[in-house]
Chain A
């Protein structure tokens, strides 16, 4: 078990470009979460999946943000037409639904996005 992994770790992009981040959860975890963390703040929940179903997406920041988990394994978070305000750390977490500890989320190292 290598834990939650995220790729890339750092991304620098120009305003207006599209970016996509990938998250690979812990292998037996069927729940996957995306958060955004800005400097000096705690993580902010964006969306979550159980298997391939996106069960909550109302907290995505705008329609420029979208997430997928097509086969119930890895997930991608896409930001279209990036803005400077999108600069932040994007965190992924995973957990196991149905277990006694299903509320425990394990976090990845994050992808730091800088929009210039």
Chain B
């Protein structure tokens, strides 16, 4: 079974600085998707960034980028120029498509951006 591990329960960063959140996963599959979701306090979960396993190029979305290391089964999220609105729980997720489409989530990292 696929498992997703986020080893940093909490992190903090100063506004405008850069922070990296870690995620590792375990799978024997070759084709899968990885995601980072953001869940702000008392608000709904939103997709931050996605990565298809067959793509070697790391995904980027504005201030958010990933470091995808397929052999190491690692998928970290880098947030540049951190903003107060980035304060949230961040979840790493794995999905094996075309089977049952269920996503496996990590336990999350609580990120606090300090002014």
A residues contacting B by CB (< 8 A) are 3-4, 31, 33, 40-45, 48, 55-56, 59, 91, 95, 102-110
**Which chain B positions have C-beta within 8 A of A56?**
100-102
B residues contacting A by CB (< 8 A) are 4, 33, 37, 43-47, 50, 91, 93, 95, 97, 100-108
Residue from B45, B47, B91 whose CB has the most chain A CB atoms within 10 Å: B45
B44/A41 in contact, CB under 8 A: no
A107/B45 in contact, CB under 8 A: yes
Give the distance in Å from the alpha carbon of A106 to the alpha carbon of B37 in the complex. Answer: 10
A104/B101 in contact, CB under 8 A: no
B46/A107 in contact, CB under 8 A: yes
Task: Give 4 nearest A-B pairs by CB, closest first.
Answer: A42-B105, A45-B102, A56-B100, A107-B45
B108/A41 in contact, CB under 8 A: yes
